[in-house]
Chain A
Amino acid sequence: MLVMLADQAERLLEDHATWEHLKSLLEAPGSFDRELWAQCAELGWPAAAVAEAQGGLGLGFEALALLNEKLGARTVSLPLTPAAVIADAVARGIGDHPSVTALATGERIGCLAFGELGESGLPRTPTLRFADGMLQGERALVPFAAIADVALCHAAAEDGIGLYLVMLDQPGVTRKATATIDNARAAATLSFDGAHAMRIDGGDGWSACLRAAALASIATAFEQVGGTQSCLALGVEYAKERIVFGQPIGRFQAVKHKLSDIYTELEIARGCAIDALAAAGRESTALPAMAAMARLGGIHAYEFASRETIQIYGGIGVTWEAAPQHHYRRSRALALELGAAPFWRELLVDNIFTLAEAQG
């Protein structure tokens, strides 16, 4: 089933995600490919990792990881991860919510809104507040918020942090799409002014929030692995073709060693992502630390690969027309969503002994 899904994704994206088409999505703030979303919804992609009891296909995060790797390889932006993560949070916290089925069918689109101005990671003391059933405050650029119907966010309530579902098509919500490094992420800031929201954690909001961010980070790591792999393929192909001083540049060690280093980072990132995915599957106490390693590995590998692929391309690499710019933009966009590297680094180092214990 997973193999079928992967083949199908490969074919659909190959036909649809041409560089020309992807460039058109970079042109305007808040861009989203609705046509592709409709097609992939029909194929069941948003439902893949959603439990059967919630109207999904129940294929687990393995299926999402596989799809995300394909998306990442072609720098295609589809909100598959929010659907899966919101479904997981709802299932754990309150069992069910009508919006989950709509997320699984693709009729509705979700987004994960954890970031705030002036905070590199997930704010432990958010300025977004929840009182009397309503949210008050702002969330910094949220991917897919320009087109989403529902957001998952954490906020400070009287009894501590809670995790909330908030419908975005209500009067108390204002969204503002902004030009970004990667307009294809359909990012927007979200302002809540008396927006009705529903608490969905089972009592420990911060843990629920951290789990959601961890799962999203693991899924995103596969997007980063796919992107890194594509950068490597682009770089290798170019290094074999481009002739200078009478020989392919791939014969020079300065270039060879760079590509070899990209391969090394790729395999480390892949290893961390695979192991974190497995940890998510077996309910490991080390999940946040394992997710942190997947996130750090993914961020590092993709950024290194995308910037060095431009370097291998030379002058042509800095043009709008060339392929590497898509990865350069996407690598940075993915690095900023879900908490930047310093946040996850801190979380990892704080948990080093928990990790050692869980791994025996």
Chain B
Amino acid sequence: MSDAQRLDAAPAEELLAYRARARAWLAQHAPAFSGAARAGLSADEDLALGRAWQRLKSEHGYACITLPRAYGGGGGSELEKIVFGEEELKYDLPTVYFGVSLGMPVPMMLRYATPEVAEKLLPPAICGDDIWCQLFSEPAAGSDLAALRMRATPATRGGVEGWLLNGQKVWTSWAQYASWGIIVARSDPAAPKHAGLTFFYLDMRSPGVEVRQIRKLAGETEINEVFFNDVFVPDSQRMGPVGAGFRVAIETLMIERYSVSDESLSGPAIEKFVCFAQDARINGKPALEDGEVRALVADTLVERQGLRSIHRRALEAIGAGREPGPEGAIRKLLLGRRRQQVGATALDLLGPAGAALTEGLTTVQDFAWSWIDSPGPRIAGGTDEILRNTIAEKVLGLPQDHRPDKGVPFNQPR
């Protein structure tokens, strides 16, 4: 039994004590990195603050809690990681830059990299100095990842065997800050689409890599398009066998067995909506007396309670060494739509004033920002439609959609 498993099986009191310690530590340190400390910061200043926070966490064993201490991780259990995540979410901390980096590329490197490479690359990532990005989606490959067209062609440079990457990636979060990336590319266009892919890690500072920020509808610029023009990657940076890239990509997406999100998916909590509805008026009467408003509150509370129960039972399962049930898959599907709906209704209550977008407020604080930014979460990380398909096929056992390109060589016209 590994240390992590033993800690997972720790009695509830130990976990309670851990939570108390995490709470106290956060109460002591988090205020200097959150809330007022972030007000008015430029993007670069906020990132610098985030890096300082990440380093502090790393020094106290709260960065990458499940990863080995030797690399700057916490050497703790999955439950501890979840508990700390829940407590950390109570503060408005600049952690967003590290979500992808530490969530997927870094744990994958721990699995695939040689000890020498891991020793070199993981500590700077875990303490926040290096950010890793994940280069998966392309203009013609979103939900259908295996349709990607980025080419990887065998090549030798300066006596080193490797690959040349050519093509375009898109929706790459934080690529503008990334030092390293993981990427999946097509190494064999004559093979069926899932079989012709190969997975690599690469230095984002390599010649031929060009990052262009994408302006989202709500104005933020965390996503990018990344162009590759004869970018050389040594074969020693291949992760998994040639042609196994799709499997490694899926492994990457599955590596976080259980991730914590807040209960309103970065929108304001429902209690805030209720306070809002107490003050707002419809035909001179408090909006909270309106049936439609009350129905929305009730539906939201029911949904939240159901999700709380699912979360609690998932933690119990992990604690007992079991896999959490498949019902965790409904969380993002429900919360994405919910945030959009609550946001729109909150603005309804304000009437014309609801259209105001106040500079400097966040989606957690303000319904207008929450609403205008709410289409994104329904698409990122699996669209509502793909999530429904996944539930239907993987949980309920329904047949897969008709897929005319399955098993057909990728470069054959269809």
Contacts and interface: CB of A to CB of B under 8 A. Distances in A.
Given A236-B396, A352-B297, A264 B333 contact: yes
Nearest to A289: B301
Give the contact-size bracket for chain A: 35 or more
A272 B396 contact: no
Contact of A271 (B301, B308, B388, B401): B308
Given A236-B397, A240-B399, A272 B385 contact: no
Interface in B361-414: 385, 388-389, 391-393, 395-402
Contact of B396 (A232, A268, A271): A232
A295 to B, nearest CB: 9
Given A256-B392, A348-B298, A355-B301, A239 B306 contact: no
B402 A247 contact: yes
Contacts of A269: 306
Interface string B305-340: 111111011000000000000010010011000000
Given A256-B393, A260-B389, A271-B305, 4 more contacts: A257-B385, A263-B391, A296-B299, A349-B298
Given A267-B330, A270-B306, A271-B305, A352 B271 contact: yes
Nearest to A350: B294
Interface string A343-359: 00110110011011000
Contacts of B312: 275
Query: In this complex, which of A250, A292, A293, A349 has the most chain B Cβ atoms within 10 angstroms of its Cβ?
Result: A349
A297 interface: yes
A253 B396 CA distance: 13
Contacts, number: 118
B43 interface: no
B303 interface: yes
B391 A352 contact: no
Contacts of B402: 247, 251
B312 to A, nearest CB: 8
B32 interface: no
B398 A236 contact: yes
B398 A293 contact: no
Give the contact-size bracket for chain B: 35 or more
A261 interface: yes
A275 B309 contact: yes
A148 interface: no
Interface of B: 271, 274, 288, 294-295, 297-299, 301-303, 305-310, 312-313, 327, 330, 333-334, 385, 388-389, 391-393, 395-402
Nearest to B295: A345
B385 A253 contact: yes
Contacts of A329: none
A263 B271 contact: no
A259 B305 contact: no
A297 B306 contact: yes
A274 interface: yes
Nearest to B391: A260
Main secondary structure of the interface of A (DSSP, over half): helix
8 interchain residue pairs of minimum CB distance: A271-B309, A268-B306, A271-B306, A256-B392, A250-B398, A260-B388, A260-B391, A267-B327
A281 interface: no
A129 interface: no
A251 B313 CA distance: 31
Contacts of A348: 297-298, 301-302
21 contacts: A236-B397, A240-B399, A247-B402, A248-B399, A250-B392, A251-B400, A256-B401, A257-B389, A259-B392, A261-B388, A263-B330, A268-B302, A271-B308, A275-B308, A296-B302, A297-B302, A345-B298, A346-B294, A348-B298, A349-B288, A353-B274
A300 interface: yes
Query: In this complex, which of A250, A251, A268, A296 has the most chain B Cβ atoms within 10 angstroms of its Cβ?
Result: A268
A247 B307 CA distance: 35
Nearest to A252: B401
A274 B302 CA distance: 12
Nearest to B393: A256
A352 B274 contact: yes
Interface in A241-289: 247-248, 250-251, 253, 255-257, 259-261, 263-264, 267-272, 274-275
A293 B396 contact: no
Contacts of B334: 264, 268
B305 A275 contact: yes
A293 B302 contact: yes
